[in-house]
A = this chain, B = another copy of it.
Amino acid sequence: MSTVVIDIIKSISNISDAAESELTSMIGSKFVQRGTYLLKEGETCSHIYFMQFGFAHQFKWKKDQKISNFFWTNNDFVTHMISFLTQTPCSENIEVLKDSKIYALSYADLQYMYKTYPEFNHFGRLMLEKYFLEIAGLGELSKITPAQKRYEKLVEQRPNLLQLATSGQIASYLNMSQETLSRIRAKRP
């Protein structure tokens, strides 16, 4: 019995039949609806998720507004990596924004896999590399000034985000008010 996520894992790294069998029993798949929280601020991130399809973001409350930090979509590994690695509480939320199919692996199970099947560290390393590249270039983006260049960079680097996120989410991600984003978009159609 092979799930999509096991196939993904096997495409990243060879694992033994024994490891595959254990993993299969550990990894739960589920459909999650828009609006579901995978993580709330104050909690310690207990799982790493693989998003087969869907859309989610990490955000922080600022007054009564959600400020998006990252977005994840098809074939992304989703987690609050700092909280997950250090097993300490985080101050962000992860919310599913479109109905999604995800697979979940708990921190404890992952540690068990590393310990029991040392060769699984190869997968762990590559997963971390993939996650790293997913979220890379974020610090860079928010430093660009003025606001218009920030938007242009986003259009260049993550055009698909423009289809998936609302303009309020994009504005918060780009660290500008919704009105400023609207004005930037009005300028060059």
Interfacial residues, chain A to chain B (CB-CB below 8 A): 60, 67, 69, 81-82, 85-86, 114, 118-119, 121-122, 124-125, 128-129, 132-133, 135-143, 145, 175
Known: A86-B133, A121-B125. 19 other contacts (CB 8 A): A60-B140, A69-B139, A69-B140, A81-B132, A82-B136, A85-B129, A85-B132, A85-B133, A114-B122, A118-B118, A118-B119, A121-B121, A121-B122, A128-B132, A135-B139, A139-B139, A139-B142, A143-B175, A145-B175
* A86 partner residues in chain B, CB cutoff 8 A: 133
- In the complex, residue of chain B having the shortest beta-carbon distance to the beta carbon of A127: B125
Contact B137 A82 (CB under 8 A): yes
* A67 partner residues in chain B, CB cutoff 8 A: 143
**Oligomeric state, in copies:** 2
Distance A69 CA – B144 CA, assembled complex (angstroms): 12
Distance A85 CA – B135 CA, assembled complex (angstroms): 14
Distance A175 CA – B144 CA, assembled complex (angstroms): 9
Q: 29 pairs across A/B with beta carbons < 8 Å?
A: A60-B140, A67-B143, A69-B143, A81-B132, A81-B136, A82-B132, A82-B133, A85-B129, A85-B132, A85-B133, A86-B133, A114-B122, A118-B119, A118-B122, A119-B121, A121-B122, A121-B125, A125-B125, A128-B128, A128-B129, A132-B132, A138-B138, A138-B139, A139-B141, A139-B142, A142-B143, A142-B175, A143-B175, A145-B175
